[in-house]
Amino acid sequence: MSSQRNLFGGAITVVLPLALIDASFHFDALAHDNDAVSRTVHSIESLESLASPETTPSPILLEGSQQIAKFNRQFEDKVHILLALYRVTGKNVDLVLSANIPITTEAGGVLGSDDLNSSKEAFLAAARSLKIADFGLFA
């Protein structure tokens, strides 16, 4: 089943499947909360979940980066963002799991590719294993 969706505030419309999820709406909200100077989405993909689909939906995974100037610093930190979006349709709720991984910082800290890959693997394991045990939480 499909429905018409508004893009760019309704300036463009498109008919899309109801199951299609746009995780970039949540990524933009996180960028706003982080006071990001810039933001880039690198990829969006479906992720197979270890939980039963009858109890917990499989997440959509977004990977991106943001330039963030925190605590009145002069220079921005480059932060790698991992975001898993679980659309809980029966409760009309989006559950978001996210990780902010600093890549470079004003203080000169640099995260190596091995450490970034380890962080990604840990996040993917968490995203795959997340299980909603009590849907009453979303009353």
Q: What is the per-residue pLDDT across 25-36, written as a single tens digit (0 to 9) for each?
A: 888 888 888 888
For the chain, the structural domain boundaries read 22-132
Both tokens of residue 79?
């932060």
pLDDT value at 51 more than 70: no
Instruction: Give the model's confidence band at 9: pLDDT under 50 very low, under 70 low, under 90 confident, else very high.
Output: low
Instruction: Give the model's confidence band at 81: pLDDT under 50 very low, under 70 low, under 90 confident, else very high.
Output: very high
DSSP assignment of 116-135 equals HHHHHHHHHHHHHH-----G
pTM of the shown model: 0.76
pLDDT for 20 equals 59
pLDDT for 26 equals 84
Helix-strand-coil split of the chain, %, nearest 5: 25, 40, 30
CA distance 82 to 136: 27
pLDDT for 8 equals 58
